[in-house]
């Protein structure tokens, strides 16, 4: 149970350290990107979510304005298979803070993120790491479908595990 809890929370941190890279979507038709983005969450959430896609110029653009406070993107790490994610407003803020290098998240309430197609993480010596495929001995591991809580938790006060990454600090 402890290992499962550590894995679940580490995945949250690993997502935050990944740079939003939708390079694998460039050149895909907008309709296909929208369908992939919507596949990240249950339809009752994704059908009314804001959908962000890669435009013809390679920049991330809003393809559909949402009404429920969730934002879905077709991928976050340009893997062989898309790893779409849908997050609520607090989750989007958390991810934005992590990607921009802030020392800690600025959201004041926990956010929710769905990854119904799963995602990826790296492991080395049996431990989850923010490593990349360039680090000797690191292996990419496919994750199953999951959801995450992206919160402004202080690991010492909450007792939740944390990871330290030299560029982003502890989230």
Residuewise pLDDT in 10s, the chain (171 residues)? 333 333 333 334 333 333 455 666 777 899 999 999 999 999 999 999 999 998 888 888 999 999 999 999 998 766 778 899 999 999 999 888 887 888 888 999 999 999 999 988 888 887 777 656 667 888 888 889 999 888 887 767 777 666 544 333 333
The model's pTM = 0.75
Q: How far is residue 49's CA from residue 81's CA, in Å, rounded to a whole number? A: 22
Collapsing DSSP states into helix, strand and coil, what is residue 31? helix
Residue for token pair 């994704």: 46
* Domain edges within the chain: 2-155
């Amino acid at each position: 149970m402890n290992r499962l809890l550590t894995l679940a929370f580490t995945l949250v941190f690993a997502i935050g350290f990944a740079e939003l890279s939708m390079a694998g979507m460039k050149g895909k038709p907008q309709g296909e990107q929208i369908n992939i983005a919507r596949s990240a969450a249950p339809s009752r959430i994704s059908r009314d979510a804001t959908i962000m896609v890669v435009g013809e110029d390679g920049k991330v653009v809003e393809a559909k304005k949402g009404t429920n406070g969730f934002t879905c993107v077709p991928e976050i790490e340009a893997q062989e298979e898309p790893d779409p994610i849908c997050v609520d407003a607090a989750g989007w803020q958390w991810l934005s803070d992590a990607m921009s290098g802030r020392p800690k998240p600025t959201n004041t309430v926990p956010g929710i993120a769905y990854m119904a197609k799963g995602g990826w993480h790296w492991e080395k010596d049996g431990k989850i790491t923010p490593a990349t495929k360039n680090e000797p001995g690191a292996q990419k591991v496919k994750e199953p479908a999951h959801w995450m809580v992206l919160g402004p938790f202080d690991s010492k006060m909450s007792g939740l595990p944390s990871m330290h990454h030299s560029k982003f600090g502890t989230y």
